[in-house]
Amino acid sequence: MPERQVAEIKTFAEDPKNKKKEEDDKDKISSSKPNGDKKDEEEELSEEDAQLKAELEMLVERLKEPNTDLYRPALETLRTLIRTSTSSMTSVPKPLKFLHPHYPELQSLFETWPTSEDKSLFADILSALAMTYSDTQPRGTLRYRLISASLMPSSSTIPEPGSWGHEYVRHLAAELGEDTPSLEKPEEEPVDNLHTLGLECAKFFLGHNAEPDAVDLLVELEIVDRIADLVDVNTFGRVCTYMDRCVNLLPPPDDVAFLRTIHNVYLQFSKLPEALSIAMRLNDPDLIREDFNVSGNPIMRRQLAFLLARAQIPVEWLHPPPSEDADGEADFPDDLMDSLSNTNLSKFFREFGKELGVAEPKSLEDVYKSHLENTRGGLSANVDSARGNLAGTFVNAFVNAGFGNDKLMVEAEEGNSWVYKNKDHGMMSAVASLGLSLLWDTDVGLSHVDRYTYSSEEHIKAGALLATGLLNAGVRTEADAALALLSEYVRNPSLSLKTCFNFADENTSMEVASLSALALGFVFVGSGNGDIISTILQTLMERDERALSEKWGRFLALGLALLFVGLQDASDATIETLKTIEHPISKQAQILVEICSFVATGNVLRVQRLLHLCGEHLEAVKEKEEAQKEKQKEKADKKDDGKDENKPDDTFQSFAVLGIAMIAMGEEIGAEMSMRQFNHLMHYGDPIIRKSIPLALGLISASNPQLPVLDTLSKYSHDSDLQVALNAIFAMGLVGAGTNNARLAQMLRQLAVYYYKEPDCLFVVRVAQGLVHMGKGTIGINPFFSDRNILSRPAIAGLLATIMAFTDAKAFVLDKYHWMLYFLVTAMYPRFLITLNEDLESLPVTVRVGQAVDVVGQAGKPRTISGFQTHQTPVRLGTTERAELATEEYIPYAHVLEGFVILRKNPGWEDTMQL
């Protein structure tokens, strides 16, 4: 038998305790080495450094001597040596390094000195030395600086912090920004001292190209409004752009305070377009009126008028209050009123189309490009022709919008009108499409629409009234024909012809009441009108539960919410009132009011609340499962009651998803983060949340087709849940609206083949194709303008109302309310840059157009655009693009080259070609 193996364990001969002793001995030896190293260092010091060290030590010794006459010269010499020393980026200045060991000794010495001017100077020097002890004795620099100031006699002043150098000021600013109450007793005087010191530091920063540091310091001290006194003609621009970028990151009310400070600075330097754009963001009628009327230059006022017209600011806001001047309304000359009313928008837009070579009308086949679809024979037979014609109506309207020459409606041969190829309610949308084709052309448009108002067919007459409203969207005329024509139909008994009347009347159907509330929301968007708010709240309280449970309830709530667009905390009282309503619509209305109030603010706390609401479904599922088990034991009728109670409860989650997009859309980082959240919600969300996410994506990047968004929507458009797919297809239309994006057009052609057996999906694919080619690529629906800084309130109202109709597409857009797609009209606006001379005639100049680059806080004057191309105006601008003049031959009146820009000749310009 083989021998059994034995495991061997090695043992150490030496005692482990002895080894530990050896290690301890080594540590002792190593700890004693630094003294030796210090001696070595002293020996290694250069002759110059050794002399400096000896001199400094001698000066410190002199301060300890009883002879007080020696103190002043010693302190003066110390101060001079510290100030004149130079340091590299990685090393501490030599005097600070050599004085570092003496700092505790000097502190003790300082306490023994009597109050005098010498002690003030001593405190100033200790303040500089305290920088080397900031880790063990925090706030020493600030403490000694304040003591130094307090010991100074009133006749003399302490030197500015900047005299100690940039690093000292930065150190002082950092300590000022920390929590200061622990520094001294909370009396009034120390706070004033801190503010004075902070302003001195900010002044130093502004003089040394450190504008962001100056702003940050004053924010910490809560005196940012005083920066207006410190800026000059060289620094105000960089300060304002930095503060502007901070606004989205601030909680209310700090964000409003920032905007008001920026406004004051711009006014101080007579930068009126910039000041007016800030006033528009604040939505303050008084500021807007003052900024508009302050300029004595009639051409500058025209430029400001173009800016106001783009945001559709009511002309009434610009008139002086009635108490001051009863005849104030007749003040503005005709050319200024034309600019304020967008009267010439149609004329310039059509000229722009001719310049770009897109004035010719496009047929449906030009958009569908069926020959590129991989179709099989006989597919067209499966398509519902009435639904196909209805889709054609919308595609034709969106693609040829504003040009007024489409072949189907405007220039159709007599008796061969497209209207009669549609059935019933389809006729209404077909006639209404005239309003879109003749958009902004109030004179010619009304004559085309007029003949349909005499039709005996009710749907055709209703469509004509809708067309009248559409073609006047965003344009005011002196006659205001739309109001005169439509008002006579308000009391008409026919449901199709009613537009808006006293909806507080309980006999009014929920449909008319809701659409009336929505109409008022559109008209008074962001105004916070108290009368309308109280009337809608009264309606919500008085209607019975059955009426509020109708599908129209969401539009009643939306009409209320639109009144609060951008008003932030002003909606708190209304939200509290809504909580008293015992019906699921209460929660829906609360969310809608909140998201409209904080639209585009990037408010993180509100987004977190909405995400929490979206997460409630997990608990709800468990509760439902438990409830179902209990209900199985109960009677069948009780089961039905329970189902009815639970049905409407999850609608609010759909609005919460849209709310995340609404709040985050104003700022790029927030928008990117929200997309990540949508991805999570898509994985774990209930069906109601999943079908709302594509709509939220469409809202957050309207007319801005970024590749990640397109790929995500493309994936969702093939979802097994048809509701998700349907909304994803529509969202693709919103994302690519007016961009002519080739990749997106190809995706939609593939979807048309994929869904050839699904009439609903195919209808939405066709509408999306129409949106992508909107205005033949010249009209966008992004609600932001002026370099994506100002939010157009009517635009966000139109986008939200259209998307709201898709939260239950089967009940609205895919039923007989497809005309709700026309809500988008308020968001439609040409994406152009047209340069004009001082007589408002077109003036072609060379411009560079490229992707906008964020250069806030960068040193020097970096390029604001990248990958630019040079064009001759007029030129089309994408959502994320920016333009700048290629030469200095002309000076623009506007601060952003977008929309209508008036130019004046640069008097100092000399043409190099002629030279």
Residue 149: Cβ-neighbour burial (10 angstroms; 0-12, 13-18, 19+) = middle
- Residue 391 contacts by C-beta under 8 Å, 6 or more apart in sequence? 762, 763, 766, 767
Most confident option among 328-332, 544-548, 636-640: 544-548
pLDDT at 375: 57
- Token duo for residue 908: 């100092």
Q: Whole-angstrom Cα distance, residue 646 to residue 132?
A: 67
| Mean pLDDT of the residues in the chain | 81
pLDDT at 800: 94
pLDDT at 627: 65
| Arithmetic mean of pLDDT, 391-398 | 89
Q: Whole-angstrom Cα distance, residue 339 to residue 354?
A: 22
pLDDT at 825: 92
pLDDT at 364: 82
Most confident option among 92-106, 495-509, 544-558, 633-647: 544-558
pLDDT at 190: 63
Q: Is pLDDT at 89 greater than 50 in this prediction? A: no
Please report the DSSP string for 622-676 in residue order.
HHHHHHHHHHTTS-HHHHHHHHHHHGGGGHHHHHHHHHHHHHHTTSHHHHHHHHH
pLDDT at 735: 94
More confident residue, 915 or 446: 446
Q: Tell me the pLDDT tens digit for each residue of 221-279.
A: 888 888 888 899 988 888 999 998 888 888 878 888 889 999 999 999 989 999 999 99
> Counting every residue, how long is the chain?
915
Q: Is pLDDT at 328 greater than 80 in this prediction? A: no
| Arithmetic mean of pLDDT, 171-188 | 62
Chain CA centroid to CA 75, Å: 55
Q: Tell me the pLDDT tens digit for each residue of 421-432.
A: 777 778 888 888
Q: Are 56 and 98 in contact (CB under 8 A)?
A: yes
| Arithmetic mean of pLDDT, 824-829 | 92
pLDDT category at 640 given cuts 50, 70, 90 is: very low
pLDDT category at 603 given cuts 50, 70, 90 is: confident
- Token duo for residue 240: 């304002």
| Arithmetic mean of pLDDT, 486-501 | 49
Q: Is pLDDT at 835 greater than 50 in this prediction? A: yes
pLDDT at 381: 41
pLDDT at 828: 92
Q: Is pLDDT at 836 greater than 60 in this prediction? A: yes
Q: Is pLDDT at 15 greater than 80 in this prediction? A: no
| Arithmetic mean of pLDDT, 91-114 | 78
Q: Whole-angstrom Cα distance, residue 117 to residue 138?
A: 25
The proportion of the chain whose per-residue pLDDT surpasses 90, expressed as a percent, equals: 25
Q: Tell me the pLDDT tens digit for each residue of 43-84.
A: 577 787 788 888 888 887 887 777 777 778 888 888 787 777
pLDDT at 436: 87
pLDDT category at 175 given cuts 50, 70, 90 is: confident
Q: Are 822 and 466 in contact (CB under 8 A)?
A: yes
Element (H, E) at 114: none
pLDDT at 511: 86
Report which of 603, 522, 528 is spatially closest to residue 573, judged by C-alpha positions. 528
More confident residue, 795 or 142: 795
| Arithmetic mean of pLDDT, 646-651 | 61
Q: Are 311 and 280 in contact (CB under 8 A)?
A: yes
pLDDT at 807: 92
Q: State the pTM of this model.
A: 0.84
pLDDT at 695: 95
Report which of 489, 538, 498 is spatially closest to residue 516, judged by C-alpha positions. 498
Residue 89: Cβ-neighbour burial (10 angstroms; 0-12, 13-18, 19+) = exposed
* Biggest distance spanned by C-alpha atoms of the chain: 126
More confident residue, 755 or 491: 755
Q: Whole-angstrom Cα distance, residue 881 to residue 339?
A: 25
Instruction: To the nearest 10°, report the CA torsion of 505, 508, 509, 515.
Output: -80
Q: Is pLDDT at 752 greater than 70 in this prediction? A: yes
- Residue 621 contacts by C-beta under 8 Å, 6 or more apart in sequence? 686
Q: Tell me the pLDDT tens digit for each residue of 853-909.
A: 888 877 777 888 888 889 898 999 988 888 999 888 899 999 999 999 999 998 887
Q: Tell me the pLDDT tens digit for each residue of 309-323.
A: 998 888 888 887 765
Question: Which of the 8 DSSP states describes residue 502?
Answer: -
Q: Whole-angstrom Cα distance, residue 902 to residue 206?
A: 33
pLDDT at 774: 92
pLDDT category at 503 given cuts 50, 70, 90 is: very low
More confident residue, 387 or 184: 387
